[in-house]
Amino acid sequence: MPEPAAQKAVEPLIARIAAAPPASPVLIAGPTASGKSALALRVAQECGGAVVNADAIQVYERWRVLSARPGPQDVAAAPHLLYGHVPADVAYSVGHWLLDLAPVLRAAAQGTGPRPVITGGTGLYFTALTEGLAEIPPVPAEVRRQAEALRARGGLAGLLAGVDAETRAGLDQANPARVQRAWEVQQATGEGLAAWKARTGPPLLPLSRCTAVALRVDPAWLGARIDSRLEAMVAAGALEEVAREMPTLGRGLPSEKAIGAAEFAAHLRGEISLQEALAAVRIATRRYAKRQRTWLRSRMGGWQVLSLPGPHS
């Protein structure tokens, strides 16, 4: 977060966290490239704590560059937990993340571990953490294949037609993965996601027990940061990283959903030029950031909003 105006905007937040009990967790959510990891590192350094990952792609060991995981300098400056600890071929869910996070929270509460400064862009992780997670039975592989076939034939409209009205009303209908998940649960269990969520148990970390901050950023400011970060990723070896992973790509694994993996792989196979790949990654990243901003507005109403000004504010 190098811009002086953005630095100044976070000063009151740093002061509040420093005055809070030393074990009190901090949550920092925001869209990709908004500077949340840098802010989390600053909180951990100045207020004491460990930076804990809440990004569904950064958990995988295979994408250090492509997922913008904290680098060696950041890791040396403060402890970093739950980054790159999952093998590429493992299907890691929000439930797994909560299980991995629980001992971190417990150690902090008992005074035997550092304050967790939890940051990332996966909104589902944060809502499951602070609102609870419905214990939905696993979806059979056959149902998943049916969902994929239906999605291939009719797109999201075909899936949405098979979801109950209550679930559909609360669904991010622009998110293909969420729509498919809702259809799969409906078909596999006979009940909609809304009904399952209504029976959700108590959360692991209620908002009342932590400082929860949602970053709100100017889209134009964020777009410039996305472009700069993409250039930095390429310079840091993103293409080489994808090239190393290409023999194991194409199996439909969750870890393959990293933005840039498919685009750079297509370039490396000679299907598109580098400029076309970069343009596709920019578009995909902006769309992802827009979905994240929508989630923050619609699902994190109880969070403290921190508006980060652009460089000329």
Of 63, 64, 40, 42, nearest to 52 by C-alpha is 40
Query: What does the pLDDT look like over 189-226, one tens digit per residue?
Result: 999 999 988 888 899 999 999 999 999 999 999 999 99
In the structure encoding, which two tokens stand for residue 299, read together? 């699902």
In the predicted structure, residue 310 carries a pLDDT above the cut 50: no
Query: What does the pLDDT look like over 133-143, one tens digit per residue?
Result: 888 888 898 99
- In angstroms, the CA 177 to CA 161 distance is 15
- How confident is the model at residue 6, as a pLDDT? 61
As a whole number of Å, the CA-based R_g of the chain is 20
In the predicted structure, residue 168 carries a pLDDT above the cut 50: yes
Average pLDDT over every residue of 265-279: 98
Altogether, the residues listed in the chain come to a count of: 313
In the predicted structure, residue 296 carries a pLDDT above the cut 50: yes
- Residue 129 · residue 205 · CB < 8 Å: yes
- How confident is the model at residue 4, as a pLDDT? 57
- In angstroms, the CA 253 to CA 151 distance is 17
CA end-to-end span of the chain, whole Å? Answer: 14
In the structure encoding, which two tokens stand for residue 22, read together? 């030393």
Other beta carbons within 10 angstroms of residue 278's beta carbon come to 19
Which distant-in-sequence residues (6+ apart) come within 8 Å of 171 by Cβ?
160, 163, 178, 179, 182, 193
User: Which one is predicted more confidently, 1 or 305?
Assistant: 305
Q: Domains (ranges, CATH) in the chain?
A: 1-133+207-313 (3.40.50.300), 141-198 (1.10.20)
* Structure confidence at residue 154 as a pLDDT band (50, 70, 90): confident
Average pLDDT over the chain, rounded to an integer: 92
Average pLDDT over every residue of 162-173: 92
> Angle at CA 255, nearest 5°, toward 89 and 249?
70
- In angstroms, the CA 216 to CA 313 distance is 14
- How confident is the model at residue 309, as a pLDDT? 65
- How confident is the model at residue 137, as a pLDDT? 84
Average pLDDT over every residue of 22-50: 96
- Residue 70 · residue 80 · CB < 8 Å: yes
Average pLDDT over every residue of 61-86: 97
Least confident of 94-103, 208-217, 302-311: 302-311
Average pLDDT over every residue of 103-120: 97
- How confident is the model at residue 1, as a pLDDT? 44
Of 4, 16, 9, nearest to 47 by C-alpha is 16
In the predicted structure, residue 270 carries a pLDDT above the cut 60: yes
- How confident is the model at residue 138, as a pLDDT? 84
* Structure confidence at residue 3 as a pLDDT band (50, 70, 90): low
- How confident is the model at residue 2, as a pLDDT? 46
User: Which one is predicted more confidently, 151 or 105?
Assistant: 105
Q: What are phi and psi of 164, to 5 degrees?
A: -65, 155
What sign results for the dihedral spanned by CA atoms 27, 31, 32, 34?
Answer: negative
- How confident is the model at residue 201, as a pLDDT? 83
Of 109, 107, 97, nearest to 210 by C-alpha is 109
* Structure confidence at residue 63 as a pLDDT band (50, 70, 90): very high
In the predicted structure, residue 312 carries a pLDDT above the cut 60: no
* Structure confidence at residue 29 as a pLDDT band (50, 70, 90): very high
